[in-house]
């Protein structure tokens, strides 16, 4: 299991699918919503988009189905958010990652670096009882370029006041792992530690 290296001075955690077990619910919400708009979304499609904000996912799925002139991406993402919110009380912590947070809290500075929006991220942290562990949170509202661009993680590093090379990044998606690499940080792929959705 995880043990920080001697050079580790900070940690950044993705939220959805890394710290909070939200991805099965997000997938269900996307599937339900897409079907109501006459589209299908595969697990592989969503997995390849993990770490990107909902409005980008919305645009890409509409484009994939060739329905750009028939479906408004804002309407789709709004409906998806409403569908997800109806299920959000089912969100639970991913214990193996939560245990890392609790073990090193107060020892190694930590931040959240998520492709989700601030309000949703704040609610998710509260739902899993982990709000108190993070003073720094960078969301889709705080950056102009999203994962795999490194801006999310670099901004978090700046707020932590820690050099990127001394930060471990915990991620469950390829885009996030790539963003960590581009930021010059140490990417930790948590997927081998958790049950696949």
Residues known to be catalytic = 14
Give me the helix-helix angle, 151-160 and 174-182, nearest 10°.
60
User: Helix %, strand %, coil % for the chain, to 5?
Assistant: 50, 10, 40
Q: Which of 3, 8, 6 is nearest to 167 (CA)?
A: 8
As a whole number of Å, the end-to-end CA separation of the chain is: 21
Q: How are strands ordered across the β-sheet holding 110-113?
A: 136-138, 110-113, 10-13, 167-171, 186-189
For 166, the token pair is 């001394």
Could you give the CA distance from residue 38 to residue 146 in angstroms, rounded to a whole number?
Answer: 28
Could you give the CA distance from residue 3 to residue 105 in angstroms, rounded to a whole number?
Answer: 14
């Amino acid at each position: 299991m995880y043990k920080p290296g001697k050079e580790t001075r900070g940690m950044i955690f993705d939220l959805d699918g890394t710290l909070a077990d939200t991805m099965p619910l997000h997938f269900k919400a996307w599937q339900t919503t897409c079907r109501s708009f006459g589209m299908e979304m595969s697990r592989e499609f969503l997995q390849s988009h993990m770490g990107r904000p909902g409005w980008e996912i919305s645009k890409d799925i509409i484009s994939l189905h060739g329905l750009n002139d028939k479906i408004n991406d804002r309407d789709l993402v709004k409906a998806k958010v409403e569908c997800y919110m109806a299920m959000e009380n089912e969100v639970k912590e991913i214990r193996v990652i939560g245990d890392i947070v609790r073990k090193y809290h107060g020892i190694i500075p930590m931040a959240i670096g998520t492709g989700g929006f601030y309000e949703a991220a704040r609610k998710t942290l509260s739902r899993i009882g982990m709000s108190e562990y993070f003073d720094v949170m960078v969301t889709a509202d705080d950056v102009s370029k999203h994962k795999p661009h490194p801006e999310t993680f670099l901004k978090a590093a700046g707020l932590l006041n820690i050099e990127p090379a001394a930060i471990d990044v915990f991620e469950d998606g390829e885009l996030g792992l790539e963003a960590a690499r581009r930021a010059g940080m140490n990417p930790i792929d948590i997927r081998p530690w958790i049950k696949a959705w």
